[in-house]
């Protein structure tokens, strides 16, 4: 069994107490289980000569697991009494000393089983409580990160409005939008470790860019395969999308209706993300390596995903990033 599946099994034990919090029902189940074990032993009869307790071991462990240590002790007592009363006198020839030693060994083994089961279940329940506490703390941390990013974005926007230098203003606005994109990614996380629906998230990024730098005449068409990613994979792609979409809006001719296709597709074991500005041509000799700061940032982010930013259909304004699918 792998470590991940083992951890999942332990977490399930801690999260689901079964009958450990319902002693009456647990006691009834214990009695039924012991009676079943006794019945099975009587039916088997001479097939199990010399091992009068063999059908009771599993019952004791199961009772301790389902109902807790008290039910394990109850199952032990009932199993010992049942074996002594119904089974031991039938196993002849057996000396009284052998009977007592066998019964004592059975009782001791059952006590150890109950103790080990109790320790394991208690540890699982403690881990489950710790996991719930950690989840609450992570949710609070996640909420604070989002708020701080939004606050920083708002501060940059305030400074950009206060400056009279157009170049500085543009840089501050771009930095603020990048922070807002990251904050929007955290806003899509409903709990720590949750996976984000990329189709829905890309539409939100497009809406954010349109509301931030678009003039209202932009049309963003999103076509995304159904996939869900962790936040550490979502943020780089979100920033890449932000840079490419922002560039499309900034460099579109005035008075024209901007049309941009955004696609995320799966090709085998790899993902392909593309942004194409329709009816737009890139200048002769265009290269991502010699482009502006935004595309350089997008190129570095593509490398974080394990891919590279390319323009495979020059002079079309088509930007493509291919990278391994998130696992």
pLDDT tens over the chain, length 327 residues: 444 445 555 455 445 666 667 888 888 888 888 888 888 888 877 666 666 778 888 888 888 888 888 888 888 888 888 877 776 655 455 556 666 777 788 888 888 988 888 888 888 778 777 767 766 666 666 666 666 666 777 777 777 777 888 778 777 777 777 777 777 776 665 555 678 888 988 988 888 887 766 555 678 899 999 998 888 888 889 889 988 988 888 777 766 778 899 999 998 889 999 999 988 888 888 888 888 878 888 899 999 999 999 999 888 999 999 999 866
Residue keyed to tokens 């499309």 = 248
pTM above 0.85, yes or no: no
Dist CA 20 CA 17 (whole Å): 5
Contact 320, 272 (CB under 8 A): yes
**289-293 contact pairs (CB < 8 A, 24+):** 292/247, 293/174
Structure tokens at 182: 């990251």
**CATH 3.30.565.10 domain position(s) in the chain:** 194-324
Task: Enter the CATH code of domain 194-324.
Answer: 3.30.565.10
Within 13 Å and on the Cβ side, how many CA atoms surround 21? 6
Distance of alpha carbon 62 from alpha carbon 317, whole angstroms: 66
Are the CB atoms for 307 and 321 separated by under 8 Å?
yes
Cα–Cα distance for residue pair 184/180, rounded to 1 Å: 6
| Alpha-carbon gap, residue 129 to 131, rounded angstroms | 5
């Amino acid at each position: 069994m792998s470590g991940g599946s083992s951890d999942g099994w332990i977490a399930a034990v801690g999260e689901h107490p079964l009958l450990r919090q319902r002693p009456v029902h647990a006691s009834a189940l214990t009695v039924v289980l012991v009676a079943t074990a006794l019945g099975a032993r009587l039916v088997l009869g001479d097939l199990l000569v010399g091992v009068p307790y063999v059908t009771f071991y599993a019952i004791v462990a199961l009772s301790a697991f389902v109902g807790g240590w008290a039910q394990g002790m109850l199952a032990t007592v009932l199993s010992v009494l049942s074996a002594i009363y119904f089974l031991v006198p039938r196993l002849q020839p057996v000396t009284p000393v052998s009977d007592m030693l066998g019964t004592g060994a059975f009782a001791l083994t059952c006590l150890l089983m109950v103790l080990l089961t109790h320790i394991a279940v208690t540890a699982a329940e403690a881990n489950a409580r710790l996991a719930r506490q950690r989840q609450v703390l992570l949710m609070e941390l996640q909420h604070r990160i989002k708020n701080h990013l939004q606050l920083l974005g708002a501060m940059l926007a305030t400074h950009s409005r206060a400056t009279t230098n157009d170049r500085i203003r543009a840089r501050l606005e771009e930095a603020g939008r990048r922070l807002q994109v990251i904050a929007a990614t955290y806003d899509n996380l409903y709990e720590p470790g949750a996976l984000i629906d990329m189709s829905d998230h890309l539409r939100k990024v497009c809406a954010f860019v349109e509301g931030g730098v678009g003039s209202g005449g932009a049309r963003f068409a999103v076509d995304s395969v159904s996939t869900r990613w962790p936040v550490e994979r979502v943020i780089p792609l979100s920033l890449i999308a932000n840079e490419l979409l922002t560039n499309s809006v900034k460099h579109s001719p005035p008075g024209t209706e901007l049309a941009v296709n955004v696609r995320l597709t799966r090709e085998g074991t790899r993902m392909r993300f593309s942004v194409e500005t329709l009816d737009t041509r890139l200048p002769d000799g265009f290269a991502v390596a010699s482009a502006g700061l935004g595309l350089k940032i997008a190129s570095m982010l593509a490398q974080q995903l394990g891919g590279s930013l390319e323009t495979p259909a020059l002079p079309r304004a088509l930007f493509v990033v291919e990278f391994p699918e998130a696992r």
